[in-house]
Structure 1
Amino acid sequence: MKISLNELSMPVAPLGPESPLPPLAGPGLVTIPVDLSAADPQMARNLAYGRPATLLPYTVQDGYSRNLVDTRVRTAVVENEILRAEFLLDYGGRMWSLRHKPSGRELLHRNPILQPANLALRNAWFAGGVEWNLGTTGHTPMTCAPLHAARVMRPDGVPMLRLWEFERMRELVYQLDIYAPAGSPVLVVHVSITNPNEHEVPIYWWSNIAVPSRDRTRVLAPASEAWHLASDGILRRVPAPEGYETEFEHAADYFYDIVSPFDERPWIAAVDESGAGLVQTSTSRLRGRKLFVWGKHTGGQRWQEWLSPPGHSYLEIQAGLARTQLEHLPMPAGERWTWLETYGLLETTPAVAHGEYELACAHIEESLSPMPDFDLAWVDLPPTERLHRGSGWGALEHRFRSAAGGGITPKLLIENDAPTSFSMSIPTPHMPGTPFDDDTLGRDQVSWLTLLEAGTMPAPAPRLAPSSYQVSPRWRQLLEQASPQNWFTLLHLGVARWHAADRDAAVEAWHQSHGASPNPWALRNLAFAGDDQVERLRTAHAMVPGVRAIAVETIQAMLAAGKPAEALGFIDRLVLNLRSNGRIRLLECRAAIDAGRLDRAARIVDTGIVVDDLREGEDALDDLWFRYHTQRGSTPVPQLPCLYDFRTGAPQ
């Protein structure tokens, strides 16, 4: 077995700059069940537990386009004589390829391009490989971010690839130890999640596995029933699907209800017409399994081609800690959770793979390779050789906890007219396996390190955008105590207060920030809070006319206020690169329809609108098409073109 570094040359759409605006709204990424009558009490509790108020401290990754550029992407490779696995080090450690060497078969959907699209918690996401999702329901905030990597040598002489990072929303440390011992037919992934806090944390994990989808691809899991949440918001317990994508007209996901004795070693497999494919197994902690398909409808097929080139369709099989992806589990303070996952080739005959469902599952169960051993002491083995650098957030957190342990005196905060003391005695756990060294600290951490060490942050020029945010109670406390205060510390204090649902105090801080030095960032946040939206956003835009996010929010506010003509005039004065942006062209067309300027709307509709960051489930394009033709009095209304059909549910 060996571990090596490599580079892939492939077409990539660069991520571009992140939005400077704090995401003050709730995630709003999934259908929230409105009817839980089918759920048992434990599932009902998990469904109601752990939903974050915002995505903070993360920012939104929306600076990409659909222009692909040949790029060299850094990877790490783990291989033995049977398997070769490759991981994208700058993209969340995504396992991009798993090739079975003797047969030459690629077991994963190895997308020939890397094209971000708006499907993740932070917006940018791309299809393909195996994604490691931690945080909250949705594609992880780290999916388009670098992480730390190292080679670790076990006492028995077997090397492991270790990937690790600090997850900022839940303040967890996670690591993957990946290896394929000599002669092993499976790749082994040992996952560890540590809660280094003195309080319980909601936890979410799903390993998201993309596999090729062909006419006879079948997904199998050892369950006769499944949970299904339809677009009507009703959670239903239904018979497990037969596993063929052709069953589904529209996008659908099914969570298999795997029960004893199969829950001791849950598994899920995807096989092709020959009966061969990928099988993923795990130890019992990773109990959930899921099937996701885009469906046969035009909208689902449009999404397939939006994410992968024609001829490269995929579906997803997934494995998670809970029974469904809508749940969070309570992880007690100071605990570490671990489990093993294996990935390898499954070979059966066509008659078995495509025969009676229960018999096919029984055959797969009997053919599974034994689960390998793992010594928990290996989790804390220090890295032998560093291979890649992730973010500096873990190092900053380590510095914070070390300083707090030195006896920082807490200050009383007033919340809802009641004094609350936040303890600053925060443990710095000894985790030698996942070092967060000071040399990883970078630009995004500089202001926060200064706040920690000097008690305040220097105020940049008001038109310079903030690059990062911190919102935990501990960082909020430092912001409350900052001395001297300036527009920058007050801006961040408002964001931390807003995240904590202390909305009036947040608005007060933003007013103080703008009063200390007029700045577009406080104005935008005040507008979001509902205070004179159009005028505040118009003024903010005038200060930073090149910031697309503020321009978009300004137009949206004008349309919401019933001012489409004003929105058109605003759009006409935008700088050229914003004027041609797909999202802004979409809003321009809507404004033209609302203002009765159908000639202007026609020019946009007829030349085509491409919204680079169109959200999964967003109905803006089909709604625009039908509104435009209704206003024109078209009889009958023309069929929605494939270009605009991203509908994932039944057309209304």
Structure 2
Amino acid sequence: MVVVTTIRREVLTLPAAPLGPDNPLPALRPLDEVHHIEDRDRNELPHDMARQVGYAPLHSLLPVRVRDGYGRAREPRRIDALVLENDRLRATVLPGLGGRVASLVHKPTGRELLYRNPVLQPANFALNGAWYSGGIEWNIGATGHTTLSCAPLHAARVAAPDGGQMLRLWEWERLRDLPFQVDLWLPDGSDFLHVGVRIRNPHERPAPTYWWSNIAVPEERRVLAPAEEAWYFGYERRLRRVPVPAYDGVDRTYPLNSTYAADYFYEVPDGRRRWIAALDESGGGLVQTSTDVLRGRKLFVWGAGPGGRRWQQWLTEPGTGGYCEIQAGLARTQLEHVRLEAESEVAWLESYGPLDAPPPAGEWDTAVRRTEERLEAVLPRADVEAAYAAWKPYADAEPGEILGTGSGWGALEVLRSGWKLPGTPFPESTLDEAQEPWRELLHSGSFPEPRRVRPPGESLVAPHWRDLLETAPAGPLTEYHLGVAQWHAGDRAQAVRSWERALELAPSVWPLLRCLAVADQEAGHHERAADRYAEAFDDLCHERRDPGETWTAATAALGREAIEALLRVGRPADARSVWGRLHPATRERGRFRLLEAELLLAEGRRAEARAVFDEGFEVADLREGDERLGRVWDRIGGEELPHAYDFRMRPSSS
């Protein structure tokens, strides 16, 4: 038998910033998500789009933790990779970092088809924080980059439809409680990487579903798709229909023609082949196409303005070219979620490969037609449908050699439910320390109290886990986790009662006080919230046992929230007291240098606040769309915002 695809292990060495510890505080606050629109825009949308925009938007990250422990000091790091290769293509996949396809090389020409980032620099773009740019990423869950961006996936060899090998990636997506898989294979002699994707809903209720495949390509391209209109979304948070390729007198299909960051969701007509391509001036580049289930196509640009250029530098290193993103999704836009019926699944096939088409400049209709004709010549639409039909029976094939291990959360859910999920096993052997107390709750009906003092572990919030917590003996840690689950369900009064009950017996009160402080803030009781934050931080400082990573992360996270709460109610002296008890290394982090400038301003020490900016700092976890740097600078009364701090993604007058 001829092996048509080989899969081998490889180790990449890249300059990389470590991910650091996750934030141990449960994410109780609503998402600070930039991808939402005003009601006036929603009322003007097509009926089906408006319905999906309003369907089950994500309001909480729970049960997922925020990943904000990374910095910007990069050192050479060994990164495990899996390489799929035939005689035409070589795909490099990072199973430990979201299963991203980091590189796709066309071997006959030696061309890299993707934007391949030469560094691994986490930045605050994923729903839960840490994300990095480049390659092809698989976004599942809800609007935004997946919480699995920097997480390991399960990986294994699986039999391919043509007798060769596929690489299967799979995990349990925790925001929506859905398992998914991504199968990659390269048929013998093919210039196209085939990717079969399946999302399952094993529940007895419908589930909101979201998927966008996100492809980074060099920005010196023209992006083509079979559309004459697009839905434009800028960081002014407006969604409106615009003509393609040009509006306001500018051809927006060239990424560098836009000034500010923007999304263009192409309106591909029903019945038209689904594809998108990014081609250089000679007509060479990458094309992505799929079966029709993956209906949406999108272009994201950073733009040529100073903010966009700064973000491009931020995500890589000096001298590296910029990128744009071409994407494909289940809905027209990324502001929508699709209903997946109970005990059902959705599946499709995507293909990625090189395209040598006529030069893309000139009239839009002509460029699109010529590109589509060339795509049909090298990969007929019927061949994509046939590849999907051939793959589908293999989606249930049991994995062979295990090549990577993801989390144990899927195993915990399968253990609880008894679900059979052919092709995507979640064995008990993958359970680890994070899942162990929940397994004990499942088996014994009691949630174990910790044997030593330490920050609480992760909470689970799904209805079935909340039910188990409600019937378990009411120990302090049980009440803590129950309160988190009740908060997530929208029963905030009951959550507060659970946390208050736990205070009476808990040997460690700071986690409970912090939860109650958030509840106070959400209810508008900011003075009481500040009191509780101050008390919580005092208790944490008394309780912390060592300068290790876990306690340091807890001190940094709680200290930051406490200082912000105290400054909000005009108590800089109390905020200064918290500041003085942070670890020295924490105070040197960029996020805390910015906080120091705000503290100095509150103390009336404007010149010293200006000096913080003049000395220079980098806020490693600066959020997409966050304008806090500019606001603090304006309060200092400086001149034009220095380039190093200019991350503006919209006009300043907006």
**Structure 1 length-normalised TM:** 0.92
Secondary structure in 1 aligned to 2:619?
Answer: coil
Provide, for residues 486-530 of structure 1, a one-character-per-residue CA deviation record: whole Å limited to 9, x for no partner. Answer: 111110000000000000110011111221114211110000001
Which residue identity is paired with 1:544?
A: L
Provide, for residues 192-232 of structure 1, a one-character-per-residue CA deviation record: whole Å limited to 9, x for no partner. Answer: 11100000000110001101122xx1111110000012344
The answer on whether the counterparts of 2:215 and 2:327 sit within 8 Å (CA) in structure 1 is yes
Matched, 1:177 2:186: no
Matched, 1:553 2:543: no
Aligned to 1:650: 651
| Structure 1: distance between partners of 2:162 and 2:617 | 58
1:155, distance to aligned residue in structure 2 (A): 6.1
- Using the aligned pairs only, state the percent identity: 48
Matched, 1:318 2:327: yes
1:100, distance to aligned residue in structure 2 (A): 0.4
- After superposition, the Cα gap between the structure-2 partners of 1:200 and 1:497, relative to the gap in structure 1 and judged at 3 Å, is same
Aligned to 2:166: 160
The answer on whether the counterparts of 1:160 and 1:177 sit within 8 Å (CA) in structure 2 is yes
| Structure 1: distance between partners of 2:457 and 2:18 | 18
Which residue identity is paired with 2:16?
A: V
1:462, distance to aligned residue in structure 2 (A): 7.5
Provide, for residues 127-166 of structure 1, a one-character-per-residue CA deviation record: whole Å limited to 9, x for no partner. Answer: 0111100000010011111010110114641211111111
Aligned to 2:58: 52
Matched, 1:381 2:397: yes
Matched, 1:309 2:305: no
Note the 1:249-398 alignment, pairs <5 A: 249-262=259-272, 265-310=273-318, 311-350=320-359, 353-368=360-375, 369-370=379-380, 371=384, 372-374=386-388, 375=390, 376-398=392-414
Matched, 1:543 2:539: yes
Aligned to 1:466: 456
Secondary structure in 1 aligned to 2:435?
Answer: helix
- Choose the corresponding residue for 1:526, options 502, 516, 528: 516
| Structure 2: distance between partners of 1:272 and 1:463 | 59
1:56, distance to aligned residue in structure 2 (A): 0.6
1:539, distance to aligned residue in structure 2 (A): 2.0
The answer on whether the counterparts of 2:260 and 2:651 sit within 8 Å (CA) in structure 1 is yes
**Structure 2 length-normalised TM:** 0.91
| Structure 2: distance between partners of 1:461 and 1:157 | 52
Q: How many residues align?
A: 612
Aligned to 2:240: 236
1:557, distance to aligned residue in structure 2 (A): 0.2
Which residue identity is paired with 1:315?
A: C
The answer on whether the counterparts of 1:463 and 1:543 sit within 8 Å (CA) in structure 2 is no
1:563, distance to aligned residue in structure 2 (A): 1.8
Provide, for residues 88-138 of structure 1, a one-character-per-residue CA deviation record: whole Å limited to 9, x for no partner. Answer: 111110010000001100011110001001111011110011110000001
- After superposition, the Cα gap between the structure-2 partners of 1:577 and 1:463, relative to the gap in structure 1 and judged at 3 Å, is farther
Aligned to 1:494: 483
Please list every run of 5 or more consecutive structure 2 residues that lacks an aligned counterpart in the other structure: 246-250, 542-551
Which residue identity is paired with 1:394?
A: G
Note the 1:590-601 alignment, pairs <5 A: 590-601=598-609
Secondary structure in 2 aligned to 1:373?
Answer: helix
Secondary structure in 1 aligned to 2:42?
Answer: coil
Provide, for residues 384-417 of structure 1, a one-character-per-residue CA deviation record: whole Å limited to 9, x for no partner. Answer: 2111111111111111013xxxxxxxxxxxxxxx
The answer on whether the counterparts of 1:463 and 1:519 sit within 8 Å (CA) in structure 2 is no
Secondary structure in 2 aligned to 1:6?
Answer: strand
Please list every run of 5 or more consecutive structure 1 residues that lacks an aligned counterpart in the other structure: 403-427, 630-636
Matched, 1:503 2:492: yes
| Structure 1: distance between partners of 2:349 and 2:404 | 23
| Structure 1: distance between partners of 2:407 and 2:268 | 37
Note the 1:94-243 alignment, pairs <5 A: 94-154=100-160, 156-214=162-220, 217-241=221-245, 242=251, 243=253
Between 1:318-327 and 1:62-71, the stretch displaced more is 62-71
- Choose the corresponding residue for 1:8, options 3, 9, 12: 12
The answer on whether the counterparts of 1:565 and 1:591 sit within 8 Å (CA) in structure 2 is no
Aligned to 1:639: 640
| Structure 2: distance between partners of 1:20 and 1:334 | 34
- After superposition, the Cα gap between the structure-2 partners of 1:56 and 1:528, relative to the gap in structure 1 and judged at 3 Å, is same
| Structure 1: distance between partners of 2:573 and 2:635 | 17
Which residue identity is paired with 1:331?
A: L
The answer on whether the counterparts of 1:451 and 1:478 sit within 8 Å (CA) in structure 2 is yes
Secondary structure in 2 aligned to 1:611?
Answer: coil
Aligned to 1:416: none
| Structure 2: distance between partners of 1:573 and 1:160 | 53
1:357, distance to aligned residue in structure 2 (A): 1.3
Which residue identity is paired with 1:257?
A: E
| Structure 2: distance between partners of 1:235 and 1:155 | 42
| Structure 2: distance between partners of 1:68 and 1:181 | 38
Aligned to 1:632: none
| Structure 2: distance between partners of 1:129 and 1:193 | 22
Provide, for residues 462-498 of structure 1, a one-character-per-residue CA deviation record: whole Å limited to 9, x for no partner. Answer: 7411231200000000100112x21111100000000
Provide, for residues 39-66 of structure 1, a one-character-per-residue CA deviation record: whole Å limited to 9, x for no partner. Answer: 1111111111111231111000011010
Q: CA RMSD in A?
A: 1.4
The answer on whether the counterparts of 1:521 and 1:540 sit within 8 Å (CA) in structure 2 is yes
